Structure 1
Amino acid sequence: MHSFWIIFKQAFLTKATTKSFIITTVIVCASFFLLANMSKILDVFQGEDEDHVLYIVDESGELAPRLQEQLQLADRDIQAVPTEQTEKELKEGIVADTVEAYLVLEQGEELTARYVTKSANELENGSNIEQAVQSLQTILTAEKLNLDNNQVEQLFAPALFEREAVSESSKSQEELSQARGLVYILIMLIYISVIYYPNMIAMEVATEKSSRVMEILISSVSPVKHMFAKIAGIGTLGILQMLAFGLSGFIAIKTAGTSMTEGIYSVFGFADVKISTFLFAVLFFLLGYFLYAVLAALLGSLVSRTEDVQQLMLPMMLLIIVASLIAFSGISVPEANFVTIASFIPFFAPLVMFLRVGMLDVPLWEPLLSIAIMLVTIGLLGWLGARVYRGGVLMYGSAQSLKDIRKAIALGNKK
């Protein structure tokens, strides 16, 4: 057991102390604080109270003040300024950067407006102005029809529309909206984890073989113990890194104190989340990691050059990609039959079953059955992986295909 912990410590510290790992962790954690405070940073460069001047070409002279009223009601930082300049002069001002934009208003049977700015990228800013013009059009139409304010409010009052699902596993629309954001984030974490950390194991094993360090290690430690020590060491490193990411993201959102971050915190479901959802996230993270880690160690033992790792890892990567496609497409239809079936397939279950648990009130036996299937699969892969690993670490030369698994098993039996 002492040798197991030596390899465990070596696998953990070797990766934890690398510059790439430390820099990646710091950059990701710092990016959470950067994104959470992005609105404050933009205010510093753009000017928090800066008003955008919008020149109004209005022959009647009555529409510009009323448009300004609508902009103020909508709390827009846009100042509508009537102008006597011609359109030719205004366009010259836009080219010379002395005019941001202008709006041509004409009132006939209907109100028409034309918004002019310098580039297509700035045309998106016209959505706020378009809403104000639409409100102004509503008021002008109401005046023509001699409608009072109460009648206008009744005319545009939204209908009361409620959603109700009869399925016992369905949640309310509000619960689904909250769960969808949280599940999406956690699925992304699980997806990245089962790609990144198992690939790290395969590269580690291939590196030790290419440098002939493996021959020294297996002379004093059994290949099976070496494999599971690697898996446990890098798995522990992955858990700690994910905890660092989660903690930094949580602190960044809570300390930013902006309306945007508070909205994200609420919409993504962090304000009212079940503890069971996080517990299932951790459980499926661990099961998904060990499932793919054993497979990665198995594949990594077959190659003696790091250049060959990606070639043999391709089948495993395809499994992860298919699982993610099913999970992300199932976010909008979590009760679909293909999602239900995929949630019991062990290589898809870490993502898909967690999706169903997070977004549906599924019976407890379903996630437990999926977990049991995964545990059995991990056990079978562990048994097969141990046999392949025992012979694979002694194989050198270019790995051609998965057919080398049979050679590795035969060589392990001779050992």
Structure 2
Amino acid sequence: MNKFWIIFFHTFLTKLKTKSFIVTTVITLLIIVLLANITNIIDFFNKGEEGEKIAVIDETGVLFDPFQNQLKAIDKDIQLKKFTGDKTKADKQVQNGDFDGVLVLSNNQENLPAAVYRSLTISNTSLLSSLENGLQQMKTQMAATQMNLSQEQLTKLYEPVSLKKVALEKDAKTEEELSQARGLVYVLLFVIYFAVIMYANMIAMEVATEKSSRVMEILISSVPPIKQMFAKILGVGLLGLLQLALMLGVAYFSLKQNMDSMEGGFFDVYGFGDVPVATLVYAFVFFLLGYFLYATLAAFLGSLVSRIEDVNQLITPMTYLLIIGFMIAMFGLVKPDATFITVTSYIPFFTPMLMFMRVGMLNLPFWEPILGIVILLVTIILFAIFGAKVYKGGVLLYGKSSSFKDIKKAMQLTKNE
């Protein structure tokens, strides 16, 4: 067992000290801090800047004032100036930078407001949306006046319809619980996806690197292959958990400092304060099992290559499986009770994402997530047994390896020993 821990800590500390890991972690943490402070950064650069200046040509002579009043309620930073010249003169002032655009107000055949906006570009969608909303509200008011509608009638006309949602199933999740569960599932899906992509690839690269240096031939003769394989998986896994904890911790403190309205503890800040404890436990369990499933697969695939350049080519099918599972889970967030989702949630490669998504979104019988966990455990054990045999023979394979036919060669080498 001492040899297992030697390999475990060696893998962990070696990867921890690498420049690539340190640089990647630091850059990621800086990005998180920047995103958490993005509002303050935008305000800093916008300090002292005036809002967009729009020249308004009112062809009707009566629309400017009501439109200005409507727009102030939508975006007070937009500055409107009544322009008395013609369109050609206004266009020249836009080209000279005196105005950001020209808005020409007129009436259509029904004597309701219409407008044309002219500027150098129409890429500022925020400005265009504000102008459009202001015009729409003004048009609504004028149309109501033409139809002799009172303000009460107009309010009632645009009042949102009342739709109460009643779930007949016993202990069914409320709309708020579903919203929180959907958020947690969404976050975990991305965590599983990126964790497997990053750390499974790291495991395969670690095995291939040691094999290329012939260190593996020494290790394989002194440490059982299954111990060696899982020592590397756990070493990289601990490294991944450390990196993930740093990211969540930095994000937590950054959000707490920059959002005064946020109160409560760690889960409250991330919006998961009312999520049932069982759901959080399932999240952790399926995350770990998903990691071990793909990490075991990556370890013995990495043992088949003798050149680091061949790693990505051999683990590409594994990456495709992960992408397919992720895409199915995204569909499942909209319709988690679909038969297709239920069936595919029992396929081991998709279970970590799909079964947890179903647990979070639906009230499943206790046996369903337990069955998913059992399927994952059995698959991991089978992969471990089969992977150890492939691993033991695969590390003795040298030369160009880019085919799954090398698995058969690795098994034969294992039998011959």
Q: TM-score, normalised by structure 2?
A: 0.92
Structure 1 residue corresponding to 2:231, chosen from 205, 229, 242: 229
Deviations 1:208-228 (A, max 9, x none): 111111122223323222111
Separation in 1 of the partners of 2:323 and 2:38? Answer: 31
Percent identity, please: 47
Q: For 1:14-413, list aligned pairs within 5 A.
A: 14-47=14-47, 50-108=50-108, 109-166=111-168, 171-257=173-259, 269-413=271-415
How many residues are matched?
413
CA distance in 2, matches of 1:177, 1:50: 39
Stretches of structure 1 that go unaligned for 5 or more consecutive residues are: none
- More displaced 10-residue stretch of structure 1: 105-114 or 86-95: 105-114
Question: Compared with structure 1, are the counterparts of its residues 168 and 349 closer, same or farther at alpha carbon in structure 2 (3 Å cutoff)?
Answer: farther
- Distance in 1 between the 2:149 and 2:401 partners? 81
Q: CA 1:206/1:200 → structure 2, altered by over 3 Å: closer, same or farther?
A: same
Provide closer, same or farther for how the CA distance between residues 86 and 282 of structure 1 changes in structure 2, counting only shifts above 3 A: same
Paired amino acid for 1:100: D
- 1:138 counterpart letter in structure 2: T
CA RMSD of aligned residues (A): 2.4
The more displaced of 236-245 and 107-116 is 107-116
| Offset from partner CA, 1:276-306 (integer Å, 9 cap, x none) | 3332222111101111111111111112111
Question: What is the CA–CA distance in structure 1 between the aligned matches of 2:278 and 2:57, rounded to whole Å?
Answer: 60
TM-score, L = length of structure 1: 0.92
Q: How has the CA–CA distance of structure 1 residues 259 and 123 changed in structure 2, closer, same or farther, with 3 Å as cutoff?
A: farther
Question: Where does structure 2 lack aligned partners over 5 or more consecutive residues?
Answer: none
Do the aligned partners of 1:56 and 1:82 also contact (CA within 8 Å) in 2? Answer: yes
Secondary structure at the aligned position of 1:120 is classed as coil
SS in 1 for 2:123: helix
Moved over 6 A (4+): 258-262, 265-268
- Listed one character per residue, the Cα deviations across residues 111-142 of structure 1 (whole Å, up to 9, x for unaligned) are 11112222021255211111111111122222
Q: Structure 1 80/3 Cα, relative in aligned 2: closer, same or farther at 3 Å?
A: same
Contact 2:95 2:120 in 1 (8 A): yes
Segment drifting more, 371-380 vs 177-186: 177-186
- Write the letter of the residue equivalent to 2:397: M
Residues 75 and 130 in structure 2, CA contact (< 8 A), matched pair in contact too: no
**What SS does the corresponding residue of 1:104 show, helix, strand or coil?**
strand
The one-letter amino acid of 1:30's match is L
Conserved 8 A contact 1:7-1:230:
yes
Cα 1:295/1:122, change in 2 over 3 Å: same
Q: Secondary structure at the match of 2:221?
A: coil
CA shift for structure 1 position 266: 8.7
Q: Residue 46 of structure 1: CA displacement?
A: 2.1
